[in-house]
Structure 1
Amino acid sequence: MDSVGLVLAMLLAVIGSGYLVRMLPFGVPLPLVQIALGATIAGVFGHGVALDPEIFFLLFLPPLLFLDGWRIPKVGLFRDKGAILELALGLVVFTVVGAGFLIHWLVPSMPLAVAFALAAIVAPTDPVAVSSITARVPVPRRLMHILEGESLLNDATGLVCFRFAVAAAVTGAFSLASASLTFLWMALAGIGCGVAITVAVSFAQRVMNTRFGEEPGSPILVNLLIPFGAYLAAEHLEASGILAAVAAGVTMSYVELSGRASATTRVRRAVVWDTVQFALNGVMFVLLGEQLPDIAERALREAGPDARMTPLSLLGTALTISLALILLRLVWVWVSLRLTLLKARRHGRQVYTPNFRLVLATSLAGVRGAITMAGVLTLPLTLPGGAPFPGRDLAIFFASTVIIVSLLVASIGLPRVLRGLEVPEESLEEAEEDRARHDAVMAAIAAIEKAGQGHLDKEVDADVHAGAIDHVRGIYEHRLGVGGTYDPARTRVAEEAEREYRLAALQAERRTILALVRARSLSDETARKLLREIDLVEARYR
């Protein structure tokens, strides 16, 4: 019963955190509020959740990474692939080497291999944490694309480095050739699993639906299970389950372009996924908070025999490591940017030179999260001989501090660094949107004319069909603008005005139906049907 109560308390904490964030006056980031509530729950229940890192990875990361891969803009991902790979590969290795030696120097009692393992697991940024912060901060669109792409791809690099650092700590041996081959296998096989599972499941589902019909709700359930299938298949092959989930999401975005899913399925699926994302994001940070009291207690106990490590110096060391990670990221971003600009100038290309504030913002946005916490908890408890694994509790404490500090720095620093920063607008995307709208409207008008021709040739109800055709065609011609000339600015004003009037009318409809139900002039069954129709129309304008 305690476990059930603990789960319910976590879900209530997720719900309450959203309201609490709006009540606090200083714009505290939502993840930090959820971490604080998690620590409070651990104090009330007397203990936190006994967190199994493998179960944590399986339950939380595949669906969230799948959704991020599905929804990330693919044009930005492939356009900025050079910058993304520099951060996802080069920066992680640079951080492992730099932070590893620094941690060993700050804490001599921690073996160098364990220091490298800690540096490896705090090197990758977390896509969920990045999304949680940037959702409340006005980040330039292109920078957002780069940060999302980096956080989706750098996990494999960090986890491979972490795995080999732990192996070196346990066995005392390390092979660069073996590490390189393992990294290639994990990355390529993981991506292959994600793509294969998504394509195979989508094809099988399409065949079954064509032959036997579609059971309502089954496409959504299948869609929810795809990331778990991709993750488990990759892990079974000792590949990267994380990259498999990401690749499955990216592949799903291309499968969706086939347009075979019905409109109702797409609407329901979006609602379900939004709910899943909200719940898992929140519970994940609440779980992190629940681990903190025990982590701090164990770290202080382990640091006790070391005369240099008082509670104050322990916290100071953790803050130093957090600051060093920001500085290492700043150095890498600045140097790689200089090299990119130099290469572009050698080839005679004109490129935008980012303001240093944009470079600083990229450095501050390196937010760590659940992947770091779950990864560091997989450190072995003992060595092969039975001796305790050296520095395990200290490593977990330092990783926890890095997560909290990165969240604080990003939420406090990013708005101030980005305030008033002028970045060239991505006018191409807006022009593409306008052109797509225009082409879609022209195709719709042509389809209306073609569909109505057969009805107009008949004498029966020809006038009714003519009126309906004129009404629907008028709606689309209105989107094109007066006289058929397409003015995007004027069209947006017209659409906003239409939205205002439609919402006012829908609210009046809803009030009337509810009043009829209260007066017992309308059955609740009929009312639910009518209200659902109104809700679907309103969702389009909301």
Structure 2
Amino acid sequence: MDSIEVVLVMLLAVVASAYLSRFLPRAVPLPLVQIALGALIAAKSTRGVDLEPDLFFLVFLPPLLFLDGWRIPKSGLLRDKGTILELALGLVVFTVIGAGFMIHWLIPAMPLPVAFALAAIISPTDPIAVSSIAATTPIPKRLMHILEGESLLNDASGLVCFRFAVAAALTGAFSVSTAALTFVWLVAAGIGAGVAVTLLVSRLQYWLSRHYGEPTGSPILVSLLLPFGAYLVAERLHASGILAAVAAGVTMSYVELSGHTLANTRIQRSAVWDTVQFALNGIMFVLLGEQLPDIFRDASATIEESGHLNPWWLAVYAVAINIGLLALRMLWVWASLRLTIYKQKIRNQPRMKINPRLLLATTLAGARGAITLAGVLTLPLAMPNGAPFPARALTIFLACSVILISLLTASLGLPRLLAGMTFPASPEEQQEEDLARRTAANAAIAATERAQIALMEAESCVDPEVYPQAAARIIAFYEHKLREVDPDAGAAWRKTDHAEKELRLAALTAERQTIYELARGDHISDEISRKLVREIDLMEARYR
């Protein structure tokens, strides 16, 4: 198949995976289905995909990380910033050191710098894999926010450690001071580039829209190009393009609070980004599955590199490395929790208790994914003297094995581990939502009253009698919303609201079906039917 045909087939595989996952048990996450379909494509295709890691990083990671940074709850990031940084920085370094020595001890034929490189590239968790697994598993919201924040930030630290380990393997030299300074520059310049590009583009776009209007589709295209711009600027500065994309997304969430974007643009932009996220997430894992047969086909070479002749040693190594990663992660998470409890004791704060099931869940949730695959494929083919890079095929094989086993472990272990546990909604979240609804409704009522008076007194007013009636209807609507969040009658009004929602959905379904019947009978034009159906769809989206 030609390259374009392969891409189209992969997109069809992404679509098919969404339907196949409906027939499979909930414990089987979507990424595993997509990996299996990718392997099937590789088996049926005579021409594989030559995966260029640099192109992979540029095409796939910036928009996905940008969107994750855009949509992740910022209050959770700020509240648990200490825990997230401990996992994103401290755990990565701890894993690189611990797993590096363990891998070298398991496979003496693999040089220590190469073992550290393998440990570094398998240390960061994957945000796409974590969110895909969480979609079918009841993980507490706060824990999910911590896991998402960790997976967004630990890519840079893992890739930096990987870069220095590879440099040490090529040159035989390593400088702690140089590595520390480089890491600071990568992080600071990467975050700065993402923030600066987002603010600059957003202000320029707002200025153009205010003076010349907002062309249809232009803001959406700008938002799609923004993560690539931030990534490329950071890479030109020799900083972390990944952190730049994440920082651009976080900054975009604050820029959006200005409220300058049109409502119609927000609706269309959300739909476009949902489609982009679904397609890119799927293709990443389909590509991983497509690459696996070639990687496993090279296993015969990895056997000799490992110093053994029995191919089962490869499986032993893969399982042992995964067990080691889980043990290191559990040890770090437990120590972090103990440190938090100790701080609470010193500050005379209420001390939390360590839940063993949540401790294990945090350990299992550290799934690896596409970043590990793309990173390990950047290993050089040869040393400076022309000799082959030591244990390159073995390193790639073990990294891919870690991806598969970590996905399987998380997808099979988490549902069973958390089965039967209930996580009540945070009362703070409900209080914040009620506060927002109450304040917004009061502001809307006040604005309606002011607008009614201004419109009745305007010279262009033809019939002032219509405004009090219209205002009364609008104020009644917002008073109903206020009663829904009334502290004394909130529960009763929420039950009534639920009943009203069901009735409105039934009415909207009948309304839409009638419009379709009128269009099929040529009683109304297609243009009119599309316009009315869109209005009904937006109303239904509100109630759903």
TM-score, normalised to structure 2, is 0.97
With over 3 angstroms needed to count, the CA separation of the structure-2 counterparts of 1:25 and 1:9, relative to structure 1, is same
Checking the alignment, whether the CA contact within 8 Å between 1:232 and 1:241 is kept in structure 2 is yes
1:312 alignment counterpart: 312
Q: For the structure 1 residues 350 and 422, does the alpha-carbon distance in structure 2 shift closer, same or farther, using more than 3 Å as the test?
A: farther
| 2:510 aligned partner, one-letter code | A
Report 1:458-477 matches (<5 A). Answer: 460-477=462-479
Between 1:366-375 and 1:46-55, the stretch displaced more is 46-55
Report the counterpart of residue 505 of structure 2 in structure 1.
Answer: 503
What is the CA deviation profile of residues 285-312 of structure 1, one whole-angstrom value per residue up to 9, with x for unaligned ones? 0000001000111132232365524221
1:356 Cα deviation after fit: 1.3
Deviates more, 1:345-354 or 1:378-387: 345-354
CA contact (8 A) 2:103 2:115 kept: yes
Tell me, in whole angstroms, the C-alpha distance in 2 between the residues paired with 1:445 and 1:279: 42
CA positional deviation for 1:2: 1.3
SS in 2 for 1:95: helix
Aligned-residue RMSD, C-alpha: 1.7
- Which residue of 2 is the match for residue 433 of structure 1? 433
Q: Report if the CA contact (8 A) 1:53-1:377 is conserved.
A: yes
- Going from structure 1 to structure 2, the CA distance change for 1:300 and 1:102 (only over 3 Å counts) comes to same
Matches of 1:426 and 1:174, distance apart in 2: 48
Is 423-432 or 258-267 further displaced after alignment?
A: 423-432
- Contact 1:21 1:27 survives alignment (8 Å): no
Q: Does structure 2 retain, via aligned residues, the 8 Å contact 1:99–1:119?
A: yes
Tell me, what secondary structure is at the counterpart of 2:465? helix
Determine the C-alpha separation between the residues in 2 that align with 1:482 and 1:171. Answer: 68
Distance 1:307 1:176, change over 3 A: closer
Q: CA deviation at 1:283?
A: 0.3
The aligned residue for residue 292 of structure 1 is 292
Alpha carbons 2:519, 2:525 under 8 Å: kept: yes
Which secondary structure state, in structure 2, belongs to the residue aligned with residue 304 of structure 1? helix
**Change over 3 Å in CA distance of 1:482–1:160 after alignment to 2:** closer
Task: Please name the residue that 2:276 is paired with.
Answer: 276
Question: After the TM superposition, which of the residue ranges 68-77 and 47-56 deviates more from structure 2?
Answer: 47-56
* Aligned partner letter, 1:388: P
Query: CA shift at 1:159, angstroms?
Result: 0.7
Distance change >3 Å, CA 101–CA 204, structure 1 → 2: same
Deviation at 1:509, TM superposition (A): 1.3
Please say which of residues 377-386 and 488-497 is displaced more in the overlay. Answer: 488-497
Deviation string 1:53-103 (CA, Å, 9 cap, x unpaired) is 000000000000000001111111011011101101110011001110111
Relative distance call for 1:484 and 1:190 in structure 2 (3 A) is: closer
**1:197 CA drift (Å):** 0.2
Output the amino acid matched with 1:71: R
- Which residues in structure 2 correspond to 1:5-20 (within 5 Å)? 5-20=5-20
For residues 28 and 345 of structure 2, the distance between their equivalents in structure 1, rounded to whole angstroms, comes to 42
**Gaps (5+ residues) in structure 2?**
none
Q: In structure 2, what is the equivalent of residue 532 of structure 1?
A: 534
- Paired letter, 2:442: M
Give the 3 Å change call, closer, same or farther, for CA 343–228 of structure 1 in structure 2: same
What is the rounded CA distance, in whole Å, between the counterparts of 2:416 and 2:538 in structure 1? 39
Which residue in the other structure is 1:406 paired with?
Answer: 406
- Give the Å deviation of 1:322: 1.0
- Please identify, of 445-454 and 54-63, the stretch whose mean Cα deviation from structure 2 is larger: 445-454
AA partner of residue 23 (structure 2): M
Q: Which stretch of structure 1 is more off in the superposition, 332-341 or 480-489?
A: 480-489
State the Cα distance separating 1:428 from its structure 2 match: 1.4
Deviations 1:414-463 (A, max 9, x none): 11222233557532121111111111111111111111123456884333
Letter of the aligned partner of 1:29 in structure 2? P
Change in Cα spacing, 1:80 to 1:423, as seen in structure 2 (3 Å) is same
CA contact (8 A) 1:88 1:150 kept: yes
Measured after TM superposition, the shift of residue 495 of structure 1 is 2.8
The CA distance in 2 between the partners of 1:275 and 1:478, in whole Å, is 35
TM-score of the superposed pair, with normalisation by structure 1: 0.97
Q: Residue 518 of structure 1 corresponds to which residue in structure 2?
A: 520
Quote the Cα distance in structure 2 between the aligned partners of 1:309 and 1:149: 42
Q: Is the 8 A contact 1:481 1:490 kept in 2?
A: no
Partner of 2:256: 256
Q: How does 1:197-212 map to 2 (within 5 A)?
A: 197-212=197-212
Q: Which amino acid aligns with 2:535?
A: E
**Partner SS for 1:462:** coil
Match for residue 188 of structure 1? 188
Q: Post-superposition shift, 1:185?
A: 0.3
1:326-380, CA deviations, whole angstroms, 9 ceiling, x for partnerless residues? 1110011001111111121012111322311111110000011011000000000
Cα distance between partner residues in 2 of 1:145 and 1:69: 11
The residue type equivalent to 1:16 in the other structure is A
User: Is the CA contact 1:21–1:30 (under 8 Å) kept in the aligned structure 2?
Assistant: yes
- Asked whether the equivalents of residues 480 and 486 of structure 1 are also in contact (C-alpha less than 8 Å), the reply is no
Return 434-443 or 502-511, whichever deviates more: 502-511
Paired amino acid for 2:111:
P
Aligned pairs (5 A) from 1:82-481: 82-304=82-304, 308-421=308-421, 425-456=425-456, 460-481=462-483
The residue identity in structure 2 corresponding to 1:338 is R
**1:482 Cα offset (Å):** 8.3
SS of 2:298's partner is helix
Deviations 1:120-162 (A, max 9, x none): 0000001111111112211101001100110111111111110
Q: Which amino acid in the other structure matches residue 48 of structure 1?
A: G
**Hey, what does 1:541 align to over in structure 2?**
543
Greater shift, 501-510 or 487-496, is seen at: 487-496
How much has 1:27 moved relative to structure 2?
Answer: 3.2
Is the 2:2–2:47 contact (alpha carbons within 8 Å) kept by the matching residues of 1? Answer: no
- For 2:484 and 2:161, locate their aligned partners in 1 and report how far apart those are by CA, in whole Å: 61
What is the aligned length? 542
**Take 1:134 and 1:127, find their aligned partners in 2: how far apart are those partners?**
10
CA–CA distance in structure 1, aligned partners of residues 264 and 313 of structure 2? 58
1:138–1:415 Cα contact (<8 Å) kept: yes
